Amino acid sequence: MKWEAKIIKYKGDTRIAVSFEKKATLIERIKQVEGSRWSQSLRLWHLPDTIDNRIRFQIETPVNNTLSEEKIEQITKFCQWLLSKRYSPSTIKTYSEALRSFLLFFDEKPVSEITNEDVVLYNNNYILKHNLSASYQNQIVNAIKLYFKTIKEVKIDIDKIHRPKRPKLLPNVLSKEEVKLILGAHSNIKHKTMLSLIYSCGLRRSELLHLKPTDIDSKRGIVIIRQSKGRKDRIVPLSPKILDMLRDYYGCCKPKTWLFEGQIPGELYSEKSLQSVLKQALEKVKVIKPVSLHWLRHSYATHLLESGTDLRYIQELLGHNSSKTTEIYTHVSTKSLQQIRSPFDDL
């Protein structure tokens, strides 16, 4: 594969831009790289700026982008500790990369000499300076706090490390009419069933993709969601309507290992392909809102609330640890708002 690769700034993030001859085989290969995206405006593919990707595409890594042996050893120990606590691979990767970024900023300072003032300095001179998101900053703080809990003889006081104040954003919700349009857009039974199951059960994307045929318990009328976020199992009601759809789908496609599989039997259906299924549905029904798969989950929760379902049950169905997370849907439910008469109507 012949390519040209360079470092670019894309929407405030540092990315690796990759250009190559337009061939289907090459496009499929670049799609396999985690986090790869196509930019229509730049007419090129771009990837996360990671050490692995720099090595893969032969981009020279700056000298100051290397850690001391002491810090490499510390990160390795931290990963081993996370592994022993049974953190998920994705969490271990996120936390180790976040910690690496922090320690790299103080490349000439021993870990034992890092203080709370250094955390403030890092936030101001790196995160804010590069206009990085509050969620990224929160990941860094989580990693720092967890890491410094695992080592001794340090100057830092972890109880005084504060997380950034998060913006209070309302979840994006579709009307029932919009949901019906989107779910009815596909004639392909597999695509229709996937989107319908996300909405009918309030599933996260990864939860849908990791379902197995045995997780559909038709006799009890439930779907079993295993080891989802926070390594928790939960059950949700199975709609009779979606059960009929699942039976039609199963009879047609006969999945082997996963409920929804890729082109190769037994292969997990990809997240990118699922996103593409939604994108195609939106194009067919001419919905111009920037709808994501998570909007269907938000809509499920909001529509349950508007139909009178108790907030405590919705919390269980969504798998939320805290009721405060579920309470956000009370701010987008229109059931009570529709009963309020505007004084403008009396003028």
Instruction: Catalytic residue, from 297, 298, 300, 303: name it.
Output: 297
Could you tell me the strand order of the sheet in which 222-225 lies?
216-217, 222-225, 234-237
Q: Name, in order, each residue with C-beta under 8 angstroms of 93's C-beta and a sequence gap of 6 or more.
A: none
Q: Which helix (H) or strand (E) holds 2?
A: none
Helix segments in 123-255, DSSP class H: 134-150, 176-183, 189-201, 205-209, 240-253
Whether 29 sits among the annotated catalytic residues: the reply is no
Whether 122 sits among the annotated catalytic residues: the reply is no
Whether 294 sits among the annotated catalytic residues: the reply is yes
Whether 9 sits among the annotated catalytic residues: the reply is no
Distances in whole angstroms, Cα of residue 273 to Cα of each of 6, 20, 101, 113: 27, 22, 31, 47
Instruction: Catalytic residue, from 37, 145, 226, 294: name it.
Output: 294
Pairwise CA distance, residues 156 & 289, whole Å: 46
Pairwise CA distance, residues 276 & 274, whole Å: 5
* Orientation angle between helical segments 293-306 and 271-284, nearest 10 degrees: 70
* SS3 of residue 66 by DSSP: coil
Instruction: Catalytic residue, from 37, 229, 234, 284: name it.
Output: 229
Whether 130 sits among the annotated catalytic residues: the reply is no
Whether 229 sits among the annotated catalytic residues: the reply is yes
Specify the residue for token string 């197995």.
Answer: 212
Q: 122, 117, 148, 157: which is closest to 137 by C-alpha?
A: 122
Q: 80, 202, 90: which is closest to 147 by C-alpha?
A: 80
Number of C-beta neighbours around residue 302 at 10 A: 25
Q: Name, in order, each residue with C-beta under 8 angstroms of 230's C-beta and a sequence gap of 6 or more.
A: 319, 321
Helix, strand, coil share of the chain (percent; to 5): 50, 10, 35
Instruction: Catalytic residue, from 204, 226, 234, 284: name it.
Output: 204
Cα dihedral across residues 193, 198, 202, 206: positive or negative:
positive
User: Which are the catalytic amino acids?
Assistant: 204, 229, 294, 297, 320, 329
